[in-house]
Structure 1
Amino acid sequence: MTRVVFLLAPRLHLLDLAGPAQVFSAAADLGHTWEIGYVAEQEDVTTAQGIGLKAATRWPELAAGDLVVVPGWRSPSLPTGPVFTRETLERVVAHHTAGGTVASICSGADALGRAGLLDGRRCTTHHDLQDELARRYPRASVVPDVLFVQDGSVLTSAGIASGIDLALHLLAVRHGPYVAAQVARTMVVHTRRNGDEQQDSAMLRHRAHLSDAVHRVQDVIDARFTDPLLLTGLAAGAGVSERTLTRRFTEATGLTPLRYQQQLRLEHAEHLIGQGATVESAARAVGFQDARMLRRLRARPAAD
C-alpha cells in the first residue's frame, strides 16, 4: 500500500487538492494500492471556494515510498508569514530525509521553500508567483512557464489544473504510462501533458484584448489551425478588408494571423514530439506539408 498525504492549508484551492486526489483515487479504483489521507494543523479547514473540509491533525506513519503533497492556497502573492508551523514543516522535511517524495502545487511551493527543500533544486510555481518565489528563495532555481518540475524526490507544479498533470506523471513513474493513460481516460482528461509544456497556450496568451473582430478570427484559426487558411476568407468572415484585419490583428495580439496560426501549429507539434512523435509526423499532423517549416520555427528564439 502506498500512502499519499495531502497537507492542507487554510484557504486552499479546491482544484489544487481535488484534481490530484481524484488521480490517486481513480488509480486505486483500478486496483493499484493507493491510500489517501488529509492532514492539517486544525481539524476544520476553510477553502478559497467557501466549502469547509475536515482533516486529521495527527500524521500517519509514513514509509519511504509514500508521498506528501502540499496544495496551494488563495493569495495574490506569496504570504509574508509562514502558513504552517515549524513543527509541521519539520514533519515534511523528515519524510523527505527518510527517502520519501514531497510535492507541491501552485503556492504550496512556498511551504517547501520555507522548509529548505527548494535549496539547490529546480522548481516552479504559478506564473503569477514565479518571480516572487525566485526572490524569496535565491538558492532555488525557479523554472518559468512550465507545468511541473521534478528534481530528485521533490516535485513542484504550476497552478490549479497542473496538479492533475503532476499526479499523472507520478503514476507513470510508479506504474508506467499505460496506468497513467487509463486514469486520464477515466477522468476524461484530454491528454497527459509533459512537465516542460507551457503553462498557458497561444490560444490564451493572445486573448487579452477587446477587438470582437479579432476574437472571431482567432476562433476560426483555433478551430482550424491545421487547415490552409487564406487571409481573404478570414477577412470576409470578420467583415473587414484584408488590410484592416492584418492591422487590427497585429495591434491586438502582436502577431499577424499567419504567425498566430504558426504558433498554434508549433505548440501542438511540440506536444506531439514530447509524446514520442517524430518531427516529420508531427509536422504533418499539425498541417505543415513537410518538416522544414516546423524545424525553422523550432529553431527560432522563444521571443521571436
Structure 2
Amino acid sequence: MRRRVVVVIFDGFQLLDLAGPVDVFETASLFAQEGGYRVEVAAVRVGAVAAHGGIAIDAAIALREVEGPVDTLLVLGGLKIPDCVDDRELVEQIARLAHVSRRVASVCTGAFLLAEAGLLNGRRATTHWMAAADLGHRYPATTVDANPIYIRDGEVWTSAGVTAGIDLTLALVAEDHGHALARKVARGLVVYLHRPGGQDQFSTPMRAGTPRTEPLRELQAFIDANPADDLSVPALARRAGMSERHFSRIFTNQTGVSPGRYVERSRADAARRLLESTGHPLDRIASLSGLGTPETLYRVFRRHWRISPGDYRRRFQTQEN
C-alpha cells in the first residue's frame, strides 16, 4: 500500500516548496522495496494554479472533494500568504482535512495557514526566518522558533524556508521507512540527510530595534561601523554622555537588547561579512571584528549559528575569494 500524500497549493505558492518534497516522496517510492507514496495535488478549485513566477501546476482535485483517510497533509508556502489566510474556504478545508490525516505538515510560510486553521495552537512551530516574527505576532498561541530547519510537535510538522521542505520530507520518509532509505534518497538527490546548523546561518544580520532618540541611533551606527573599538559599557556610556546605569537601562529599553548583547551581535555580523568577503585567517577576522581571539570567534559562531567559522566560510564565501 502506498501512503497517500495530499499537497495543498494556491495562487502564488512557492514552486520549490512543491518540487522538493514531491521529488523526495517519488524518489523514496522508487527506492522502497514495498509501499512508497502516492502524491495528489489539490487546491480550492480544480485546474491550473499559478506559482509565484507564473508557472502553472494542475490541481487534479478540489480540496472539498478530498475524503479521508489521508496519510500526510502537506501545506505549502508562498509570498501571498497574507492574502491566503483570508481565503476562508482554503483555511476551512485545511482544518477539515487535518482531522482525517494521520499527520499534517507545512513548508515555509505554509505554517501561517496551519495556524489560521487552529492547528498550531499550543504547539511549537517554525517557518521562514523572515516571517517568524510575524507568525508569532499574529498567532500568540503558537510558540515560534525561527532557527530549526524543521520541528515536530506531536503529529504536526513545520519546516523553515523553501528548501527546508526537502529536509522535512526526508524526516517523514525516515519515520515511515527508516533512516537507511531516507539516507539513500538524500544521496540520490545530492542533499544532506541532516543539514548541519540551523536556519540562522542563512539569515540577514541579527538586528535589534532602532532606538527612538537620535543620540542612541548615532551610537548604534558607531558600534556597527567600529567593531574593533572599545565598546564596553563604560566607553559607550561616556560617548552617550550618560551614567553607565542610565545608559544600560535606556539602551535596553529602546533596542530590546542589552548593550553587551548588541555589541556581541554586531561583532558577530562583522565577522560573518569578513568570512564571506575576504580570505583573512581567523585570527585576523577575530581582531578586525572586535572578537579578539579565534577561540572567542568560534564560541560566538557556535552560539549564534551552531556552526564553526570555518564551516560558515566554506558554505558562503564568494567564489572570487
Coarse TM-score class (shorter-chain normalised)? 0.5 to 0.7
Closer/same/farther in 2, CA of residues 15 and 208 from structure 1, 3 Å limit? farther
Counterpart for residue 184 of structure 2 = 182
Cα deviation, residue 184, structure 1: 0.5
Matched ranges for 1:258-273 at <5 A: 258-262=295-299, 267-268=306-307
Output the CA distance in 2 between the equivalents of 1:122 and 1:263: 26
Tell me how far 1:216 sits from its aligned partner: 2.0
1:85–1:260 CA distance, 2 compared to 1 (3 A): same
**In the TM superposition, what are the counterparts of 1:208-247 in structure 2 within 5 Å?**
215-217=277-279, 231=283, 246-247=286-287
2:43 corresponds to which letter in structure 1? A
Q: What do residues 70-120 of structure 1 show as CA deviations (whole Å, max 9, x unaligned)? A: 111125xx51x4447333333322232235311111111111111111111
State TM-score, norm by structure 1.
Answer: 0.68
Query: 1:181 Cα deviation (Å)?
Result: 0.6
Task: Confirm or deny: 8 A CA contact 2:126 2:151 kept in the other structure.
Answer: yes
For 1:41, which of 34, 44, 65 is the aligned residue? Answer: 44
For the residues of structure 1 that align with 2:53 and 2:269, how far apart are their CA atoms? Answer: 26
Bigger radius of gyration? 2
CA deviation digits over 1:253-300, x for unaligned, max 9?
x6754433455678358xxxxxxxxxxxxxxxx9xxxxxxxxxxxxxx
Tell me the equivalent position of 2:135. 133
Distance in 1 of aligned mates of 2:95 and 2:276: 50
Aligned AA for 2:48?
A: D
| 1:56, distance to aligned residue in structure 2 (A) | 2.0
Counterpart of 1:69?
Answer: 74
Q: 1:213–1:127: structure 2 CA closer, same or farther, 3 Å change rule?
A: closer
Q: Secondary structure at the match of 1:67?
A: strand
What amino acid is aligned across from residue 44 of structure 1 in structure 2? A
1:29 aligns with 30
Whether the 8 Å contact between 1:124 and 1:149 is mirrored in structure 2 is: yes
Q: In 2, distance between residues paired with 1:143 and 1:215?
A: 29
Give, in angstroms, the shift of residue 212 of structure 1.
6.7
Deviating more after overlay: 181-190 vs 50-59: 50-59
Distance in 2 (CA, whole Å) between partners of 1:85 and 1:202 is 31
- Cα distance in 2 for partners of 1:211, 1:166 equals 29
> Once the two structures are superposed, what CA deviation does each residue of 1:125-180 show, in whole Å capped at 9, x if it has no partner?
11111111111111111123111111112111110111111101111111111111
Number of paired residues? 240
The 8 Å contact of residues 49 and 58 in structure 2, kept in 1 or not, is answered as yes
Secondary structure of the residue that 2:158 maps to in structure 1? strand
In 2, Cα distance between equivalents of 1:246 and 1:33: 50
Shift of 1:58: 2.4
Structure 1 window deviating more from structure 2 (42-51 vs 131-140): it is 42-51
Aligned ranges 1:1-304 → 2 under 5 Å? 1-31=2-32, 32-42=35-45, 43-59=47-63, 61-64=66-69, 66-75=71-80, 79=82, 81-83=83-85, 85-193=87-195, 197-201=197-201, 215-217=277-279, 231=283, 246-250=286-290, 256-262=293-299, 267-268=306-307
CA contact (8 A) 1:184 1:192 kept: no
C-alpha contact 2:129 2:200 (8 A) present in aligned 1: no
| Structure 2 letter corresponding to 1:199 | Q
1:10 aligned counterpart, secondary structure? coil
Encode CA deviations 1:155-210: one digit per residue, 9 max, x unaligned: 1111011111110111111111111111101111134238xx52033898667789
User: 1:50 Cα shift?
Assistant: 3.1
Deviates more, 1:145-154 or 1:256-265: 256-265
- Worse-superposed segment, 179-188 or 34-43: 34-43
Q: Report the AA paired with residue 40 of structure 1.
A: A
Give the % identical residues: 32
CA distance in 2 between partners of 1:58 and 1:209 (Å): 50
- Alignment RMSD (CA, Å): 3.2
1-structure distance, mates of 2:77, 2:131: 11
Residue segments in structure 1 that go unaligned for 5+ positions in a row = 222-230, 236-244, 270-285, 287-304
- 8 Å Cα contact 1:3-1:37 kept in structure 2: yes
Secondary structure, in 3 states, of the residue corresponding to 2:194?
A: coil
Q: Give the partner amino acid of 1:16.
A: D
What letter matches 2:288 in structure 1?
R
